Every structure is written in structure tokens, then in C-alpha cells.
Amino acid sequence: MIKEYGSEGVSEAIGFLIMFTIVLTGIAMVSLVGYPMLIQTQISSDERNMEQAMISVQNDMKIMTFSNVPFRDSTIKVSGGGLTAIDNTSFGQSFTISDDTGTGFSVEYKPGAIQYESDDGTAVLTLMNGAVVRREKFQSGSVMIAEPRWFYDSDEKTLVIYMTVLNADREYYERGIGTIKMSMKTQPVIIDTPYGTPATVTVTYAYDPDDDYSVAWRNYLTGDSIVEGGFAETGSGKYSLSGVERLVVKEYDIKIENM
């Protein structure tokens, strides 16, 4: 006797093919949509972690300069990119402090930097001159994540500027977990200038076009962080504060011993 198969077998085969197609479609959707989203989430997490890590190093430097601590080790986990220590002589940016008294007073500072660059993302985070700033690769604009310790005493009309200069015998590079070993073996160089007649003090920021944080520094200087109403922007990268009766500039030289 020959047994004939009915439509039930055909239906099962068609159902299997449909389910198999749905599974393959789901896998394809996860691969095309879900995986890139997962990668982007990981990149964003790495960049946020590095922002906090850079702020932690900034705080260690503040402890060194504020409390005159000669040595400080800062343990850091570098996620999703690389960390570089750049000597001040190799860092193509500078700050110049001057006044309008006619004495020719003008002092230039090259700050050096500790810089993080994301491998797969666009973030570039830089610890420079006591501030943590951020820009995006291949884009204009920048933002200051953590401010330096500058202030203006409106009662005494005194402007206090802290300049942090980073030195390194070579360009250090770090990935993964490492320790930044820092030293400050010299006393700060202090310029203390009382003005008989109120003066205008100008801060000039010269930036590297390939590593531009001019927007971040402009917003900081012209905002209310230092003095209510901020500095006046008087030219490209130039910011002036009038009515200053005393100027104090403190330069701290921190050496990156190892990383």
C-alpha cells in the first residue's frame, strides 16, 4: 500500500522556512543595527570615563600646587584610546599675560598637556594649564569640562592667575591601566604687581589650528567664572580686564616623571 502525504507536510515545510527566514532577518537586524549601537554605547562610556579620569589627574595637580606637595602619583585607566604626555616645548599653544602700563610687561607661558584621543570615537580630551577641555576630531568648537583656578577679588581689585606648565623628558604614551608619576621640585615663580593706577590686564591665547580649544577658553574668560561680566574680548584670542589694581601670576612647573 502506498501512503499519500497530504497538505499537512507541505504546511510544516513552509512554516519552517518562514520561521527560518524570520530568525535570519532578526540576526541581520541585530548585526546591522544593534551591534553598531552597542559599539557607540561603549565608545560613549569610554569617553565619559576618561573625562572623569582627566578631572582626577587635574585634582591631583591642584593638590600639588595648592599644598606644595613635591610628588604625586595618579593611577588612571585609559579606556578606548591612548593617553599622551606632551612637553611644554612641543605643545603648540601658549598664553601671554600683559598690561597697558607702558612698562613692556609681557610674559608668555607654554603649558604642555596630557592628552587623550579616542580610537573609534571623535573625542580629544586635554588637560592643559589647569583645565580639562574637549574637542571633537574633524569638527570645530570645544568645551571646558573642568576649569582652572583663576579668580578676581572684586573688593581688592586683585586678579590672580595660576599657570601650570608640564615638562617631560620625552613623549610618554599610555594605554590600559597605568600610573602618572608627577613631581614639583621647584618653588612657584610668582609675579606680584601692584598698580598705582588701575590697569588693564590682557590674556592672549595662541592656539594650534589642528588642536583648537579657543572656544572653550573664550567662554571661560568672557563668562562669569572669574569675574562677574567676564573679560572683554578685544581681538582674536585676546581678552582684557580693566580696573585691576594688583596682578598676581603664579607659575607652577610640574614634571611628568613617568607614565
Q: What pLDDT, on the 0 to 100 scale, is given for residue 111?
A: 97
Q: What pLDDT, on the 0 to 100 scale, is given for residue 192?
A: 98
Does residue 25 sit within a domain?
no
Does residue 113 sit within a domain?
yes
**Total domains, the chain:** 1
pLDDT band at 175 (very low <50, low <70, confident <90, very high): very high
3-state SS string for the chain: CCCCCCHHHHHHHHHHHHHHHHHHHHHHHHHHHHHHHHHHHHHHHHHHHHHHHHHHHHHHHHHHHHHCCCEEEEEEEEEEEEEEEECCCCCCCEEEEEECCCCCCEEEECCCEEEEEECCCCEEEEEECCEEEEEECCCCCEEEEECCCCEEECCCCEEEEEEEEEEECCCEEEEEEEEEEEECCCCCEEEEEEEEEEEEEEEEEECECCECCHHHHHHHHHCCCCCCCCCEEEECCEEEEEEEEEEEEEEEEEEEEEC
Which tens digits make up the pLDDT trace of 36-58? Answer: 676 778 788 999 999 999 999 99
Does residue 3 sit within a domain?
no
Does residue 245 sit within a domain?
yes
pLDDT at 18 over 80: no
Whole-prediction pTM value?
A: 0.84
Domain span including residue 249: 35-257
Does residue 169 sit within a domain?
yes
Does residue 16 sit within a domain?
no
Does residue 15 sit within a domain?
no
Does residue 68 sit within a domain?
yes
